[in-house]
Amino acid sequence: MKIDRRGFLKIGGLGILGVAVKPVIDVVSKAKLAEASSKKGVLVEKRLAMVVNLKNCKEGCTDCIAACHGVHNVPDIANPKDEVKWIWTESYENAFPDQEHRFIGGGMKGSPAILLCNHCDNPSCVRVCPTKATFKREDGIVMMDYHRCIGCRFCMAACPYGSRSFNWRDPRPFIKKVNPEFPTRTKGVVEKCNFCEERLAKGLIPACVESCKNKALVFGNVEDPNSEVREILRSNYTIRRKPGLGTGPQIYYIV
Amino acid sequence: MFEKALIGSKKYWGLAIGLLAIMGVGAIFYLQQWNYGLGITGMSRDVSWGLYIAQFTFLVGVAASAVMVVLPYYLHNYKAFGRITILGEFVAVASVIMCLVFIIADLGQPTRALNIVLYPTPSSILFWDMIVLNGYLLLNILIGWNVLASERKSVPPPAWVKPLIYISIPWAVSIHTVTAFIYAGLPGRGFWLTAIMAPRFLASAFAGGPALLILLSLIIRRFTKFDPGKDAIQNLGKIVAYAMSINVFFILLEIFTVFYSQIPEHMHHFEYIFAGLGEHGKLVPWMWASVSLAVVSLILLVNPITRRRESILALACVIVFFSLWIEKGFVLVVTGFIPSPLGRVFEYTPTVPEIFITLGIWAMGFLILAILYKIAIAVKEEIEA
């Protein structure tokens, strides 16, 4: 085969064109699909979400953190370098940097906000994972497969909420009391909040929601107009973390 | 041809043993990392990529040494580069192998690395990077080895090599572009979220790769009977001058957009590297060193009087290499995480094991390069004798 420069450029050009056109076709065909299924009203029947009412959250209380970390065998590694956390508090300004200003009132300034995985509608962590070790379920839960994760930490770079932790070392010596119902993890894998999918499967509500005595956490199906979360979203003004990034976070905050 | 790697001078064996020793030390520290986990490095929950991924990023750039000699020779029939295409291709082989090993060293579960192949995920840029890097490695091994073998027998290379050579040119562009896309497509990482990331990777690669090639050519001329040629070196020098100018220009474009728009999520990172945030400023001296080196290298490279003096050209290439290493091989990756998306400034310093593992992998790359160069130069000397 003999290819001159002109021939090569022609073939190369066509190849590049093909690569460029493919995503456009994908988007158009996806858009059609979404349109068709939403008409029938069956696009999703269940979409799990949570409302965090920061007005009800008592400063100094760590019940939800203790409940979650206890039931999920989250190691208690004290140093910030290696720590693993599924649900934690951060000051309001750090949690909502785009909502911060000098005169924040209502007692929010410097007060702690409960943070966890946002179980995004359009999760960037899922998009970047090279092995599908993190994936989104039909009901919206963003899950982790600890046995498939290769520990590349691309998802940690992709998550704009700092919701993911890596096991920088063997976590087992740092688990005070192992819950035999839930697996412990090994070093070298990423983990995060799983919306208590193992409890949901048994008909229980998430451990953090159950443990909160002040009803600061409410969990449910936002696709169901009669659900408690929908009622709260209807009657309160709520905000989400960094909505401008297009990730579609499913944790709503009342401030 | 491989037998040529087994016969060498005392200097050759001394170099090989020295590199093996550094690899050995690296391997011991890697065993420690294997047992303890990646917590042995300076990486943290906030700064979750560090030296390893930064080396990978930098070395993808070094691999561009090949395309910058292959393109002028095969597409523009620029004969002077014909003598050194093999040198460029073998640098590409060694750097891409280093890239792959750095990725493996960075994995929390390296034994599961093949999951990328077993569960192919086209939405992940890492999946595509795996394809383009391995493809580029294979292309350069096939092309380099076959062209050299034919040269030795004084026959033209087999016909099937030519299309591979043509494919390798756009393929080289793809490795920089796809590697840039790892960073440039992440929401919430303002430092990386810039469409100019891929052009920046290309510009710095076309400066860094040829700069290393110039230095290697000068070393080869000094220690062997093979002369890569004054013209080839001079013209590589021009390529480095252009590419480095474009690279600096691109960085200035970033600085304009970030500081004129004043968007905090983008600006804080640049403030961190140029001035520090509060009491945190570990990268500030590094960044200013990189900037100063870049300026000095441009003065030496753009001025024809200095560029034409080989000793000054060599110095300029060393400066370019180090300036780019600081910028791509450290600052670019680490700063993406500082401050974190939650506004926290958690600084990163590589640990001793991390540094030795890194040195070990560099030593491995240079050993591969030394062996490949030994073979190539032995063949060239044989032909010329």
CB < 8 Å from B in window 110-139 of A: 124, 126-133
Closest Cα partner for A153 from B331, B105, B25, B211? B105
State the DSSP code for B327. Answer: I
Distance CA A186, CA A172 (A): 8
Q: Given the DSSP bridges, would you call strands A48-53 and A251-254 parallel, antiparallel or unpaired?
A: parallel
A48-254 sits in which CATH class? Answer: alpha beta
DSSP B275: T
pLDDT at A10: 67
Q: What pLDDT does residue A28 have? A: 52
Q: By C-alpha distance, which of B321, B360, B357, B308 is closest to B91?
A: B321
B121, B127, B346 member nearest A80 (Cβ): B346
Alpha helix segments (H runs only) across chain B: 10-36, 51-62, 65-76, 85-106, 115-118, 125-152, 161-184, 197-223, 230-261, 264-274, 284-302, 304-308, 310-326, 332-335, 352-384
Taking the Cβ of residue B103 and every Cβ of chain A, the question of whether any pair is shorter than 8 Å is answered with yes
B181 contact A CB<8A: no
Residue A23: count of CB within 10 angstroms of its CB: 9
Of B37, B48, B123, the CB nearest to A170: B37
Nearest to B186 by CA among A159, A108, A98: A159
Q: Is the pLDDT of residue B24 over 60?
A: yes
pLDDT at B82 over 70: yes
pLDDT at B279 over 80: yes
B115 touches A: beta carbon within 8 Å: yes
Establish whether the linkage from the previous residue to B339 is cis, with ω within 30° of 0.
yes
Q: How far apart are CA B93 and CA B144, in angstroms?
A: 9
- B350 at the A interface (CB within 8 A)? no
Q: Which residues of A touch B346 (CB under 8 A)?
A: 80-81
Residues 213-252 of A with CB under 8 A from B: 242, 245-247
Return the amino acid letter for A97: P
Token readout for B116 is: 């990328």
- B343–A93 C-beta distance less than 8 A: yes
- Please compute the mean of the pLDDT values over residues B89-114 and round it to a whole number: 96
Q: Please compute, for residue B311, the number of CA atoms within 13 A of its CA located in the half-sphere on the CB side.
A: 0
Q: Which two tokens stand for residue A166?
A: 């890596």
Tell me which residue has tokens 């004084």.
B154
Q: CA-to-CA distance for A186 and A171, rounded, in angstroms? A: 7
Asked if A166 lies within 8 A of B189 by C-beta distance, the reply is: no
Nearest to B121 among A16, A130, A149 (CB): A130
**CB B30 within 8 Å of CB B357:** yes
Q: Scan residues 19-78 of A and list those with Cβ closer than 8 Å to B.
A: none
Kindly provide the ipTM of the predicted complex, given to two decimals.
0.92
pLDDT digit string, tens, across residues B364-383? 999 999 999 999 999 988 88
- B300-352 per-position pLDDT tens digit: 999 999 999 999 999 999 999 999 999 999 999 999 999 999 999 999 999 99
Please report the residues numbered 6 through 65 in chain B whose beta carbons come closer than 8 angstroms to any beta carbon of chain A. 36-39, 43-46, 48-49
Q: Just give the CATH number of B2-384.
A: 1.20.1630.10
**Residue range A194-204, pLDDT digits in tens:** 999 999 999 99
| Model pLDDT for residues A219-254, shown as the tens digit of each residue | 999 999 999 999 999 999 999 999 999 999 999 999
How many residues does this entry show for chain B?
A: 385
Distance CA B257, CA B197 (A): 13
Q: Do A187 and B108 touch (CB under 8 A)?
A: yes
Which of B97, B123, B106 has its CA nearest to residue A153? B106
For the segment A177-194, the average pLDDT, to the nearest whole number, is 96
For A:175-194, CB contacts with B below 8 A are 186-190
Using a CB-CB cut-off of 8 Å, the residues of chain A touching B163 are 1, 3
Instruction: Give dist(CA B343, CA B323) in Å, integer.
Output: 28
Q: Cα distance from B349 to chain A (closest Cα, Å)?
A: 12
Domain boundaries, chain B: 2-384
Whether residue B134 lies within 8 A of chain A, CB to CB, comes out as no
Dihedral, B287, B291, B292, B297 alpha carbons, nearest 10: 140
**Cα-to-chain-centroid distance, residue B219:** 19
**Mean per-residue pLDDT, A86-114:** 88
Terminal Cα-to-Cα distance of chain B (whole angstroms): 17
pLDDT value of residue A107? 79
